[in-house]
Amino acid sequence: MDVGQVGWLAWLVIGALAGWWASMVGPRRLGLVADSVVGMVGALIGGFLFNQLGARDVTGFNIWSMFVAFVGAVVLLLIYMFGVHRSVTT
């Protein structure tokens, strides 16, 4: 395995963990695949948000990157929750 393959593997692991961690905070569980997708998309959202605030974004496979991905995943889940609830009630 070269460095690029290890990087993608690390992102999959970070995404899965961050998504699972975020779903534990939320009202319901989504499942392994959905948690992983939420975590990976959340890492992008978190990186963007932290970058806009002037903080470091994702820097590798470490605690800070997990935190950034977790925050982004929580933001994504909140958007999803409010979007689903709003569309159901209207």
Over the stretch 23-36, which tens digit does the pLDDT of each residue have? 888 766 777 788 88
Q: Most distant CA pair in the chain: distance in Å? A: 51
- Range 66-87 average pLDDT: 82
**Range with lowest mean pLDDT among 4-8, 55-59, 61-65:** 4-8
Confidence of residue 1 (pLDDT cuts 50, 70, 90): very low
**Domain span at 53:** 3-89
Q: Report the candidate in 18, 26, 17 with the shortest Cα–Cα distance to residue 77.
A: 26
**Amino acid (one-letter) located at 32:** L
